């Protein structure tokens, strides 16, 4: 893909919080149109801080954020435009939900975009259906469970139909069914053309869906590539206090303990072929 397909880019971003914490130290990040990109990193790596730059909530001290090749400007009119393009689902749903009912909460974004009443109703209905929360329209968001809140927060951004959806740990705190349901929804939206950027600690689920993975540690991007490329860098992943996906860990055990010739990053199919090949050779020896 060419550079003109880059829809969102962070160029050499530095950010320092008012208390002096230097949270981002020269971060470079790109998402191309239609990609699903995962950002992995341990607690405190700077994932949320980086994401808050993507629609101009935070302004970098150095470097710039580009949307479709144009640097973000920080006047209120330009920011409104940016927020039409890039929607962010916060890490903590309580930071996002504030209206008295679920319906009003999800309607807030499209109303702000100036959609007609009819269009707003349609979008709210579609968004709540997409996240499996229809029937909850009249409930106050603060009565919902953690997972339900998260789904409503996602619906609120979905209803704005952004070109890029940025989700800060969308699967954290969800049960396995809930997490896999959200990932399937994101996968479907991605297939329909939406660019999706997700931060996570969940090395088993999210990278399965991601086209590309960035790994962040201590305010810096330490590696980037396809899930296969990234998880083959075992020491780097462990050095950043992350664990390998269970599949990759299994491969490591097969390789180190059982001496089965397997390269990290192999798919299950390739592993199976290799084990069979190995067994065939061993059988011949006997």
Residues that bind Mg ion (CB under 5 A): 47-48, 91
User: Given the rule CB under 6 A, which of 2-10, 40-48, 98-106, 151-159 is the region that contacts ligand ATP?
Assistant: 40-48
Taking CB under 6 A as the criterion, the residue among 13, 36, 41, 162 binding ligand ATP is 41
Which of 219, 186, 215 is CA-nearest to residue 203?
215
Residue nearest to Mg ion (CB): 48
From ligand ATP, Mg ion, none, interface partner of 44 (C-beta below 5 to 8 A by class): ligand ATP
Nearest to 241 by CA among 260, 262, 276, 215: 215
Distance between CA atoms of residues 37 and 132, nearest Å? 24
- Closest to 178 in 3D by CA, of 148, 203, 209: 148
- Residue 195: which of Mg ion, ligand ATP, none does it interact with, CB under 5 to 8 A by kind? none
If binding means CB under 6 A, how many residues of this protein chain bind ligand ATP?
Answer: 13
Q: Of ligand ATP, Mg ion, none, which one does residue 112 interact with (CB within 5 to 8 Å by kind)?
A: none
Per the CB < 8 A criterion, the answer to whether 173 and 123 are in contact is no
Q: Which of residues 53-92 bind ligand ATP (CB under 6 A)?
A: 91
Cβ–Cβ under 8 Å, residues 83 and 55: yes
Chain Cα centroid distance, residue 66: 18
Closest separation in Å from C-beta 61 to ligand ATP: 13
- Minimum gap (Å) between residue 167 Cβ and Mg ion: 11
The partner in contact with residue 21, picked from ligand ATP, Mg ion, none with C-beta cut-offs of 5 to 8 angstroms by kind, is ligand ATP
Rounded Cα distance between 86 and 252, Å, is 39
Does position 2 interact with ligand ATP (CB under 6 A)? The reply is no
- Identify which of residues 41 and 156 has a Cβ nearer to ligand ATP in the complex: 41
In the complex, minimum distance from the CB of residue 163 to ligand ATP, in angstroms, rounded to a whole number: 23
- Using rule CB under 6 A, residue 45 touches ligand ATP: yes
Q: For residue 26, state whether it binds ligand ATP (rule: CB under 6 A).
A: no
Q: What distances in angstroms separate CA 193 from CA 33, 121, 161, 165, 257, one per listed residue?
A: 8, 23, 11, 11, 43
47 is a site residue for ligand ATP (CB under 6 A): yes
- Order of strands, sheet of 36-40, starting from the edge strand that comes earlier in the sequence: 86-89, 164-168, 195-200, 36-40, 212-217, 220-225
Q: Which of 7, 13, 23, 153: binder of ligand ATP (CB under 6 A)?
A: 23
Q: Radius of gyration (Cα) for the chain, nearest Å?
A: 21
The DSSP output letter for 44 is T
Among Mg ion, ligand ATP, none, residue 171 binds (CB under 5-8 Å by kind): none
Q: Give the interface segment with ligand ATP, choosing from 13-21, 80-88, 125-133, 269-277 (CB under 6 A).
A: 13-21
Q: Is 147 in the site for ligand ATP (CB under 6 A)?
A: no
3-state secondary structure of 208: helix
Shortest spacing between CB 47 and Mg ion, in angstroms: 5
Query: Rounded to an integer, what distance in angstroms lies between the CA atom of residue 40 and that of residue 216?
Result: 6
Three-state secondary structure call for residue 27:
strand
* 3 state SS of 64: strand
Q: Which residues bind ligand ATP (CB under 6 A)?
A: 17, 19, 21, 23, 41, 43-49, 91
């Amino acid at each position: 893909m060419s550079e003109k397909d880059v829809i969102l880019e962070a160029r050499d971003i530095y950010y320092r919080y008012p208390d002096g914490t230097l949270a981002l130290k020269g971060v470079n990040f790109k998402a191309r149109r239609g990609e699903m990109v995962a950002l992995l990193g341990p607690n405190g790596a700077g994932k949320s801080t980086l994401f808050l730059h993507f629609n101009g909530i935070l302004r970098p001290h150095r470097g710039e954020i580009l949307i479709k090749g144009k640097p973000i400007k920080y006047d209120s009119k330009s920011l409104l435009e940016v927020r039409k393009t890039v929607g962010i689902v916060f890490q903590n749903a309580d930071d996002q939900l504030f209206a008295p009912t679920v319906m009003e909460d999800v309607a807030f974004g499209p109303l702000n975009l100036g959609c007609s009443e009819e269009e707003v109703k349609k979008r709210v209905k579609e968004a709540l259906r997409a996240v499996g929360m229809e029937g909850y329209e009249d409930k106050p968001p603060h009565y919902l469970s953690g997972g339900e809140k998260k789904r409503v927060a996602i619906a609120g951004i979905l209803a704005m139909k952004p070109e890029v959806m940025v989700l800060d740990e969308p699967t954290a705190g969800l049960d396995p069914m809930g997490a896999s349901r959200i990932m399937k929804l994101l996968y479907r939206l991605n297939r329909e053309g939406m660019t999706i950027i997700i931060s996570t600690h969940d090395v088993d689920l999210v990278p399965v869906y991601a086209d590309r993975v960035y790994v962040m540690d201590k305010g810096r991007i330490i590696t980037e590539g396809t899930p296969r490329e990234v998880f083959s860098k075992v020491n780097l992943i462990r050095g950043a206090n992350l664990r390998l996906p269970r599949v990759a860990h299994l491969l490591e055990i097969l390789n180190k303990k059982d001496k089965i010739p397997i390269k990290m990053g192999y798919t299950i199919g390739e592993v199976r072929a290799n084990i069979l090949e190995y067994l065939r050779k061993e059988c011949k020896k006997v």
